[in-house]
Structure 1
């Protein structure tokens, strides 16, 4: 029997703006970040935002009508990438994507406000906040996340099936 399709996660309010489609914006922002996680070194707020984007993409992207034509591997790759990132950060696999994305975005906002204790407290909702902050500042290479976001970008821009104007 087929598993029921989970409802798409709501777009977190702090997702990238200005590019129109939030899915397109999230893909275009996340792809270079996960292709080379060293660009996030020492930038835990940005790493938290990128992690929230991957959470949202894994929970939502393939359920959006305009993405149903994408490779059948895309959903699987996004989930593998998300799970790899969760493992690197110490986030339990059973955590709800919306809760994880929300905690990550709250932590990013707190870090930008110069309030690391508030950032750690936000992350405590989905794991051990203090250790997650340290891990966000030093993400290891995440090959599954890189592959997933690269495939999403390829599906978005690679073969002309998408309106990218």
Structure 2
């Protein structure tokens, strides 16, 4: 009987083991550029609210590759920050697994290499967004060229302008926004303020 109980427990232990979050993000930490938020706002809070709205209302990104590039970059940043940044340890729910699952959905949709470090992805997407807004298509394509973007700059821009449904990304960002609101209502110091650099107070 004891042997049978031990065997039945194995699948449960395997699931729990699969949910363990490593000490550092597999894709490395990332920070946001200064122009990720206007004024003296908190870049992480802005990224949470912005991505939740954008991916929860994908029509706002249709035909707007500049906005889509920023939204994807912000998600890449949040996937490194929310599960691992000490400032956000008060968030409930499976933030880490949800953001990791969303990243596995998002990167193939854009054409981002699965093993690409997060920081150059963020930098390249923001550079492309700036170039698009400046009317410099060639510079935008150059920003999205190289081994990180497996389909090349022009194809990546086309994908950003025509994002497919991304339900797992939307679920992750929706939970993050809900948790941010909950922390605000509870008066949690982790859910307010900011260091202005998009680092979430990491050492």
Q: Find the counterpart in structure 1 of residue 10 from structure 2.
A: none
Of 154, 162, 166, the residue aligned with 1:142 is: 166
Q: Secondary structure at the match of 2:92?
A: coil
Q: Given that residues 125 and 143 in structure 2 are in contact (C-alpha distance below 8 angstroms), is that contact kept between their aligned partners in structure 1?
A: yes
- State the Cα deviation string for residues 113-139 of structure 1 (Å, max 9, x = none): 111111111001321211110011111
Q: Does 1:104 align with 2:128?
A: no
Q: 1:136 and 1:2, CA in 2 relative to 1: closer, same or farther beyond 3 A? A: closer
- Counterparts of 2:164 and 2:140, CA distance in 1: 21
Where in structure 1 do 4 or more consecutive aligned residues deviate above 3 Å?
1-4, 161-165
Q: Corresponding residue for 2:12?
A: none
Aligned runs of 1:82-121 on 2, under 5 Å?
Answer: 82-121=103-142
Match of 1:20, SS state, is coil
Residues 12-45 of structure 1: CA distance to partner in whole angstroms, max 9, x if unpaired?
2331234632111110111010012121111100
User: Alpha-carbon deviation of 1:11?
Assistant: 2.5
Does residue 53 of structure 2 align to residue 29 of structure 1?
A: no
**Structure-2 separation of matches of 1:120 and 1:107:** 7
Give the corresponding residue for 1:80.
Answer: 101
1:65 equivalent among 77, 83, 86: 86
Unaligned runs of 5+ residues in structure 1 are: none
Asked whether the 8 Å contact 2:128–2:141 carries over to 1, the reply is yes
Partner Cα separation in structure 1 for residue 128 and residue 64 of structure 2: 12
Shift of the 90–54 alpha-carbon distance from structure 1 to 2, 3 Å rule, reads same
Question: Does 2:24 align with 1:5?
Answer: yes
TM-score normalised by the chain length of structure 1: 0.90
Q: Which position in structure 1 is the counterpart of 2:13? A: none
Structure-2-length-normalised TM-score: 0.74
Q: Tell me the matched-pair count.
A: 165
The answer for unaligned runs of 5 or more in structure 2 is 1-19, 194-203
2:177 to 150, 153, 158: 153
For residues 156 and 2 of structure 1, the distance between their equivalents in structure 2, rounded to whole angstroms, comes to 20
- Whichever of the two has the greater Rg, that structure is 2
C-alpha separation in 2, matches of 1:70 and 1:148? 12
